[in-house]
Structure 1
Amino acid sequence: MGVFQSMPSLGRRSLVELGPRIARLHWPLILVLTGLAGAGVLTLYSVSLGDMDEYAKTHLIRYFIGAGGLFIVAMIPLRVWLSLAYPLYAAGIVLLLMVPVFGEVVNGSQRWIAIGGFRLQPSEMMKIALVMALARYYHGLEFERVSTISGLLAPLGMIAVPVGLVFIQPDLGTALLIGFSGVAMILLAGLSWRYILVGVFAAFFGIAGGIQTGLVKAYQWERVTAFLDPTYDPLGANFHANQSKIAIGSGGVEGKGMLEGTQSQLGFLPEKHTDFIFTIFGEEFGLRGALLLLGAYLAVFLLTVHVARSARSHFGRLMSLGIGVTLVLYVLVNTGMVMGLAPVVGVPLPLVSYGGTVMLAMMGGFGLVLSTWIDRDQDTLRTRGWKTDRLIHP
C-alpha cells in the first residue's frame, strides 16, 4: 500500500484509466483475430510436414508479440493517434527511402531492412500509416472540399509517394495494395463519382503508358498475360497458378485432411508458407474449411464496420473503415491470385501467412480499431464539416 501511495499522481491516474479501457475492449474482434492466427499455425505445421519448429512456432510467437502490440495500441487514447498520424506517415516514408540504401536483396527484390535480428518490411507498415494520415487529413477537411481539385491534391500526393517508392523495389503487388487502400480512403471520405470515372480512365492510360515506356517489367506483364490466357506457357509463367488451382480443386468439399495434401506436400507449389498458403488450406480442409476461413475474414470486416458506425469521431470511423478495407483487399488479392481470378503477385494472406512485419502491421492496425472502439463515445475531437454519415449510417 505504501509503495502505491508513493507513486506519482500521474502514474496512479494512468492505472485508474487503464482499467476501464481494458473493460471496454472489443473481445469478439480479438477472438476472431486469434482464430485466424490459429489457422495459420495449423497450416504452417502442415506445410512443414508436422514440424512445429520450422514455421508454426515462430508464427505463434509473432502473434503473441503482435497481440501485445495490439493491446498497447488500444490502450492509447484515440486523440494521441490523431496527433501521431502525420509523424508516423513521415517515418514510413523515411524507412522506404532507406530501403534502396540499406535494404537487403531477397529473390531479386530489395524490400527489407535488417534491424538487429529482425527484418523489417517498411512497405507493410506504410499501409497502416497511409490510412492513418488520410484519415487525419479528411478529419480536418470540410466536406465541401472533398471533391475539389485543391482538396484532392494533398491525398493524391500522399498516396503517390509511397506507391512509387514501393514500385521501384520492385514490389508491384504491395504498391497496388497501398494505392487501392489510399483510393478507398478517398472514396470513403465522400469523393464525387465524376472524379472516380476520370480516375479509372487515367489509371487505364497510365498502365498502358507504363507498359510502353518499360516502367512495367517484362516479367510483371507476363503475369498479366498468363492470367488472361490460362493456356499460355503452362510449364513456365502459368505453372504455379495451374498447380494452385489443381490443389484447391482436389480438396473437394471435405478436404484431404491435415498433412495429406499431395500437391503441397510433394513440392509442386512455391512459397507454400506465404503467398500460396490458402492453396494448402483449401486442399487439406476442403471447401468447407476455405469458406470458414473466408467467413472469419468477413466477420473481422463486419466487426470493424460496426466499430466505425459506433464512433463519433470522424478520424476514428474513417481510420477503422480504412483498416477494414485494407484487410479485405489483402484477402481478395491473395485468394483471387491462387484461384486464378487475379494475376500472381506477391501478396500474403494476413494473419495466416508466415511473415513478421505483416503480422505486426495488421495487429497494430486492429489495435487502432480497438482504440476507436474504446473511445467511441468521445466527441471532443475536431470534426469540421463531417457530412458523410450516409456512408456508414445508411
Structure 2
Amino acid sequence: MDLTYSDEDQAFRAEVRDWLEEHLTGEWAALRGLGGAGRDHEAHDERVAWNRLLAEHGWTCVGWPQEYGGRGLSLTQQVIFHEEYAKADAPVRVNHLGEELLGPTLMAFGTPAQQERFLPRIVAVDELWAQGYSEPDAGSDLANVQTKARRDGDDWVIDGQKVWTSNAHFSQWAFVVCRTEPGSQRHHGLSFLLVPLDQSGVEVRPIEQLTGGSEFNEVFFTGARTDADLVVGAPGEGWRVAMALLGFERGVSVLAQVVGFARELDGVVDLARSNGAIDDPVLRDRLAGLKVELEVLRRQAMRGLSSAAGSDSAGPSVFKLVWADWHKRLGEVAMDVLGPAGLTTATADGDDAGYDLDRWQRLFLFARADTIYGGSDEVQRNILAERVLGLPREPKGA
C-alpha cells in the first residue's frame, strides 16, 4: 500500500481535524478519552448522543458506498479519518458492530428489504447491535454452536444461550448464528439471523468483570422470535455469512486501534517521567521496545489492508496474536511503572477500602481479554498450524 498522501488526502485530513477541534468542545469536551479498554460503560448515553452528532454531519459509516448512506471514502481517507479521530482523543464510538461488521455483511448478503430496513438506522445510530457467536460449550469454536432456531409460520423461534456478548445490554438487536437443521454438525446447517433483543423471550445478564464494568453479557433465548425473512443469506448458509463478517472485522478500524495504543503508550511514558520510573534502565528499555514494536504493528496493519496482501491467509491470525500480546505487555509495563501504588485502589473520596481503578489498572486487567475475544490465541495458533503450515489437525477433546 502506498504510504504517501496526496494533496487531496492532506486536505481531507485537515477537514477531519478541524471538525473534531470545533465540535469536541463545550458539553462534548468532557467525553474526551471515555469508553476505552474495560470502560465501555462510561457515559454511554452521552456517547450515543455524540455518535448521533457525528451521523448528522456525515461522519459515520464513512467507507460505505454512497448508495447505502455512507461517504464512499477511499481506503486512504478512511485510514485518515480513523487516525485523526483517535489522535483527537474523541470518545470511543458505540456502533462498531453495526457499522464495521453487520453493515458490510448486509451489503454483501442481505436482501434489498433488509438493507432498506437496517442500514439507514445503523448510519443514524438509531439502533445498536450485538454479536451472538460465542457459547458456553463452544467458545471460539463457531462451528460447534448449539443454539437452535426452528420455523414456526412467519417466524423463527430461537432457544439457546450466547456468552461474552459485548454490550448486549445496550443493544436493540443481535445477529445470531443458530443451528436450523436438526441433526446437522459442525459448519453445516447453520443460519445467520437478525434478532430483536427487546422481547420477553430474551434475557440479558451482564457479567461483572475485574475492571468493575460489565461490557460482556450472557444472553438467553427461550422461545425468542424473529421474522422469517430476517435470515441473512439462505437458511443453512450461516457459516459462509459468519466467516465473511469476520473478514470485515479486520478493516480500517484496526488502524484506529493502533493509534489508540500509541496514545496509551505515550501516557505510560508520561507517567514514568512524572514519577521517576523512567530512570530505571530496564523499564526504559521495555518502553522503547514497545514503541518500536508498535510501529511494526502499524505497518503490518497497513499491509493487511492492501490488495496485494488480501489473499494472505496467515495475516489476520498473525496480526491478532501480535497486537493482543503487545497490549497485554503494555498493561504489565504500566503496572511496573506505577509500582506499589498499582496494587491499591481507592474510591473517589479517598477511602482506600473501595474499588475505584485508575486507567492503568483497568488496562492491565482488561488486556487479558484481548488474548481471548475475537478468536483466542489458541484458535489463532491452530489456524496457522493447520491451514498455513499444513500440520495435523488438533484431536477433538484434546
Shorter-chain-normalised TM-score: which range?
A: under 0.3
When normalised by structure 2's length, the TM-score is: 0.26
When normalised by structure 1's length, the TM-score is: 0.26
Structure 1 or 2: more strand by fraction: 2
**Which structure has more RCO (C-alpha within 8 Å, separation ≥ 6)?**
1
Structure 1 or 2: more helix by fraction: 1
